[in-house]
C-alpha cells in the first residue's frame, strides 16, 4: 500500500492584536519553527510515496528519492535559521521620589 500524504490548504490567517515586540517575536519564531519542522519531516518520506497536489500527481521512485531529499536539504539550508536575532532592552520604570 502506498502512503498518500493529504495536502492541507493554508488556513485563513488569524488576526492577532500584537501588544508588544516580545509577543510578535515569539509568534514569529514559533510559526517559523513549526514550518521548519514540517519541512524536516519530508526527509523521512520513503520511496513509493505518492503526492497529489491539485490535478498533478507524483510518486517518488527509488531513483528520484535522493534528488527529492537533496531539494529538501537545500530548502532547509535557506529556511533553518531566521535572518535576525531579537533581543529586547529591559524596560525602565520611572522612579517616584
| 5 located within any domain | no
| Radius of gyration in angstroms for the set of CA atoms belonging to the chain, rounded to a whole number | 20
Residues linked to residue 51 through DSSP beta bridges, in sequence order: 58
| 18 located within any domain | no
Domain count, the chain: 1
Task: Look at the alpha carbons of 11, 14, 20, 26 in this order and tell me if their dihedral is positive or negative.
Answer: negative
Cell 518520506 appears where?
45
| 95 located within any domain | no
Residue ranges making up the domain that contains 57: 33-79
| 67 located within any domain | yes
pLDDT at 50: 93
Q: Are the C-beta atoms of 32 and 24 separated by less than 8 Å?
A: no
Encode the chain (97 residues) as per-residue pLDDT tens digits: 445 555 556 677 788 888 888 888 888 888 999 999 999 999 999 999 998 988 999 899 999 999 999 999 999 999 988 888 777 666 666 656 5
CA 95 to chain CA centroid, nearest Å: 44
| 46 located within any domain | yes
Amino acid at each position: 500500500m502506498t502512503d498518500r500524504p493529504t495536502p492541507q490548504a493554508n488556513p485563513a490567517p488569524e488576526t492577532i492584536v500584537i501588544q508588544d515586540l516580545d509577543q510578535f517575536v515569539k509568534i514569529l519564531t514559533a510559526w517559523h519553527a513549526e514550518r521548519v519542522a514540517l519541512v524536516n519531516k519530508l526527509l523521512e518520506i520513503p520511496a513509493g510515496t505518492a503526492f497529489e497536489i491539485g490535478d498533478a500527481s507524483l510518486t517518488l521512485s527509488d531513483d528520484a528519492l535522493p534528488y527529492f531529499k537533496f531539494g529538501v536539504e537545500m530548502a532547509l539550508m535557506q529556511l533553518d535559521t531566521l535572518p535576525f536575532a531579537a533581543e529586547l532592552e529591559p524596560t525602565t520604570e520611572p522612579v517616584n521620589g
